């Protein structure tokens, strides 16, 4: 015989024990599964696209800033080149008038102003830095010597014909920068210098501003502001961002006062300045579109509501299916019980005939004793003994019929503490006792001495044991050994019914729990016993294991918990 079961069978659906807590747990489980399968992936996708949108928006803003910086740098470079050209044209016409007079210088300044209103003053110097003539609002600068100024020495000794100075206070005590152009004549070297105030360039840059959320400043190589809007700290202050001199154009982010600000820059070719454009008033920080976030939240909320309604519908459908299947299962159990009673009819008739024979015999004996010839032998004591036999036989018949009726009419689940060994004895010794007694089947009871009582449905468990024992008897065909074994498990008790009958093939094992499948002859089996038994056991919270080999017998093991 096999020592251990080799397969676990799937449970039949049973409504036993499925109360309201079960369906609430099922609703929670369904909701969690739906959220994991639908909402979480959708949220991840939405989050991914929001991150991509944010990255694209930030990158687009950076590219936009860089385009503004490049465009304004080209515009400022063109502006400065035009001013250099204006001053160069003036120097080309100076030679016939060299050295220039004050009146000539004043006329030249007026000519420059007709080309651009940025020019504020004009002065001519010789090669020593001594002023030759001056025109402008600062008349006290006529005698100022510029020979030691850095810009003058750079222009005088360098190969370049012009220079644009950085902003500085100078003799005017006011930030300004100058454009100086040199020419060499037969009479000597002359240098013309025109002064432009930064405010003029700032007004020009504001006029070509692209948007109101950006600010433009112009800095030198050290980051000192040369041109800045009125809202900035002021000229000659240091910018929080100093662009790298080896990168002609670019964009980067700098944290200023806890806020990350994007700076775009472009170097101006005509001078050592860089034009910087940056966002203001939180323009550098990415702000998700409120409408998109609201629409996404609404979409997810509607999705959660739809999943909740679907989960409720699923639980309601499951409840209805369980109720329907429970009703069908109950009808199937009753049909199986009626079929079992039909198969037991012969044994039951024998059980009832024995006490009926006793009753008939005692009644006949009493009638005989009423004959006047035996009147002396009919004593009250003797009569009481015969009446007691009749009484016992009558109540024996009543017990048999009551058990049968209780077995057949058992429909509702009734949970109570029970001893499975006692139930098993009632089936083997009571219901099937007469059937076993007329066979050559030897019954061996291998019961555990410390088997605990369990909470179960006595009537349904009785039906399971009846089916298993009857199948074992049918498999042995009137001769063999029936072994009943009980033991304690970690979670409950185990009951094994083992026979030495014909056994089953693997193909038969695959189908024994299929309703209406039977290997018995027509009229001797309904094919419902094992399928109903499996449903009952699973409804009681247990499992059925089976192992079998052809020619060696079968073993059915029922595992039951201490409580459902």
Q: What is the pLDDT of residues 469-491, one digit of tens each?
A: 988 998 898 899 999 999 999 98
In this predicted model, what pLDDT tens digit does every residue of 276-315 receive, in sequence order? 988 765 544 556 677 777 888 888 888 888 888 888 888 8
Q: Which residues contact 3 (CB under 8 A, 6 or more apart)?
A: none
Least reliable range by pLDDT among 26-40, 122-136, 289-303, 398-412: 398-412
Q: What is the pLDDT of residue 418?
A: 92
| Residue 217 contacts residue 203 (beta carbons within 8 Å) | no
Q: Under the phi-then-psi rule, with left for phi > 0, alpha for psi from -120 to 50, and beta for the rest, what region is 301?
A: alpha
533/215 Cα distance (integer angstroms): 85
Q: Looking at per-residue confidence, does 29 or 393 come out higher? A: 29
Q: Which residues contact 318 (CB under 8 A, 6 or more apart)?
A: 23, 26
In this predicted model, what pLDDT tens digit does every residue of 84-127 receive, in sequence order? 999 999 888 888 888 888 899 899 999 988 888 888 888 898 88
Q: What is the pLDDT of residue 254?
A: 82
522/217 Cα distance (integer angstroms): 104
Q: pTM for the whole thing?
A: 0.49
241/223 Cα distance (integer angstroms): 7
The answer, yes or no, to whether residue 555 has pLDDT greater than 90, is: yes
Least reliable range by pLDDT among 3-7, 182-186, 231-235: 3-7
> Beta strand 479-488 with 440-446: parallel, antiparallel or unpaired?
parallel
Burial of 558 (0-12, 13-18, 19+ CB in 10 A): buried
Q: Is 312 helix (H, G, I), strand (E, B) or coil?
A: helix
Q: What is the pLDDT of residue 307?
A: 85
Q: What is the pLDDT of residue 463?
A: 84
| Residue 118 contacts residue 201 (beta carbons within 8 Å) | yes
Q: What residue ranges in 358-491 does DSSP mark as E strands?
A: 415-418, 440-446, 454-457, 479-488
Q: What is the pLDDT of residue 400?
A: 63
Q: What is the pLDDT of residue 390?
A: 79
237/229 Cα distance (integer angstroms): 12
Q: Looking at per-residue confidence, does 71 or 391 come out higher? A: 71
541/522 Cα distance (integer angstroms): 33
CA distances from 514 to 249, 509, 533 (A): 81, 10, 11
Q: What is the pLDDT of residue 262?
A: 85
The answer, yes or no, to whether residue 442 has pLDDT greater than 90, is: yes
Q: Which residues contact 377 (CB under 8 A, 6 or more apart)?
A: 369
CA distances from 128 to 252, 256, 330 (A): 45, 47, 123
Peptide bond into 99 cis (omega under 30): yes
Mean pLDDT calculated for residue range 76-84: 90
Q: Is 80 helix (H, G, I), strand (E, B) or coil?
A: helix
For the chain, percent of residues with pLDDT exceeding 70: 76
State whether CATH 3.30.450.20 applies to domain 19-288.
Answer: yes
To the nearest whole number, what is the mean pLDDT of the chain? 80
Confidence of residue 339 (pLDDT cuts 50, 70, 90): low
Architecture of the domain made up of 1-17+415-564: 2-Layer Sandwich (3.30)
Q: Looking at per-residue confidence, does 115 or 265 come out higher? A: 265
Burial of 73 (0-12, 13-18, 19+ CB in 10 A): buried
Instruction: State the maximum Cα–Cα separation within the chain, in Å, rounded to a whole number.
Output: 189
For helices 458-476 and 380-409, the axis angle rounded to 10 degrees is 90
Q: What is the pLDDT of residue 333?
A: 61
Mean pLDDT calculated for residue range 25-50: 86
Q: Which residues pair with 122 in a beta bridge?
A: 135, 194
CA distances from 301 to 34, 267, 305, 361 (A): 14, 51, 6, 85
Q: Is 516 helix (H, G, I), strand (E, B) or coil?
A: coil
Q: Where are the domains of the chain?
A: 1-17+415-564, 19-288, 344-412
19-288 shares the fold of 1-17+415-564: no
477/489 Cα distance (integer angstroms): 32
């Amino acid at each position: 015989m096999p020592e251990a079961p080799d397969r676990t069978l799937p449970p039949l659906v049973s409504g036993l024990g499925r109360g309201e807590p079960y369906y609430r747990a099922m609703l929670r489980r369904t909701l969690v599964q739906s959220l994991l399968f639908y909402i979480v992936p959708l949220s991840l996708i939405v989050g991914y696209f929001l991150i991509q949108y944010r990255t694209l928006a930030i990158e687009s803003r950076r590219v936009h800033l860089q385009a503004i910086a490049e465009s304004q740098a080209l515009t400022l470079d063109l502006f400065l080149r035009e001013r250099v050209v204006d001053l160069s044209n003036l120097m080309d016409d100076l030679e016939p008038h060299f050295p220039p007079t004050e009146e000539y210088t004043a006329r030249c300044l007026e000519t420059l102003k007709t080309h651009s209103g940025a020019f504020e003053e004009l002065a001519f110097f010789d090669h020593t830095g001594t002023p030759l003539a001056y025109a402008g609002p600062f008349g006290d600068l006529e005698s100022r010597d510029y020979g030691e100024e850095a810009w003058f020495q750079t222009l005088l000794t360098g190969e370049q014909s012009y220079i644009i100075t950085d902003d500085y206070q100078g003799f005017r005590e006011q930030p300004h920068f100058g454009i100086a152009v040199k020419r060499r004549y037969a009479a000597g070297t002359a240098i013309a210098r025109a002064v432009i105030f930064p405010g003029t360039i700032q007004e020009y840059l504001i006029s070509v501003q692209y948007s109101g959320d950006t600010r433009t400043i112009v800095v030198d190589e050290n980051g000192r502001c040369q041109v800045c809007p009125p809202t900035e700290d002021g000229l000659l202050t240091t910018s929080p961002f100093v662009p790298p001199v080896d990168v002609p154009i670019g964009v980067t982010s700098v944290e200023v006062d806890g806020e990350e600000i994007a700076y775009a820059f472009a170097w101006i070719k005509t001078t050592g300045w860089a034009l910087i454009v940056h966002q203001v008033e939180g323009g550098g920080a990415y702000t998700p579109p409120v409408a998109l976030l609201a629409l996404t939240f609404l979409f997810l909320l509607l999705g959660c509501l739809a999943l909740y309604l679907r989960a409720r519908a699923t639980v309601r459908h499951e409840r209805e299916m369980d109720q329907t299947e429970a009703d069908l299962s109950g009808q199937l159990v009753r049909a199986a019980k009626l079929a079992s009673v039909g198969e037991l009819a012969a044994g039951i008739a024998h059980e009832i005939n024995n006490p009926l024979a006793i009753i008939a015999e005692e009644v006949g004996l009493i009638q005989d004793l009423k004959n006047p010839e035996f009147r002396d032998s009919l004593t009250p004591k003797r009569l009481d003994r015969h009446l007691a036999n009749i009484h016992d036989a009558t109540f024996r018949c009543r017990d048999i019929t009551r058990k049968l009726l209780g077995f057949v009419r058992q429909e509702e689940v009734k949970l109570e503490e029970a001893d499975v060994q006692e139930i098993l004895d009632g089936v083997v010794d009571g219901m099937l006792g007469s059937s076993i007694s007329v066979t050559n089947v030897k019954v061996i009871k291998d019961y555990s001495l410390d088997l605990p009582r369990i909470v179960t449905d006595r009537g349904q468990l009785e039906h399971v044991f009846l089916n298993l024992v009857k199948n074992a008897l049918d498999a042995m065909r009137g001769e063999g050994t029936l072994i009943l074994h009980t033991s304690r498990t970690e979670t409950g008790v185990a009951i094994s019914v083992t026979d030495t009958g014909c056994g089953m093939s693997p193909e038969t094992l695959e189908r024994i729990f299929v309703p209406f499948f039977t290997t018995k002859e027509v009229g001797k089996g309904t094919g419902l016993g094992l399928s109903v038994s499996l449903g009952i056991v699973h409804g009681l919270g247990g499992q059925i294991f089976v192992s079998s080999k052809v020619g060696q017998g079968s073993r059915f093991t029922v595992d039951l918990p201490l409580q459902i």
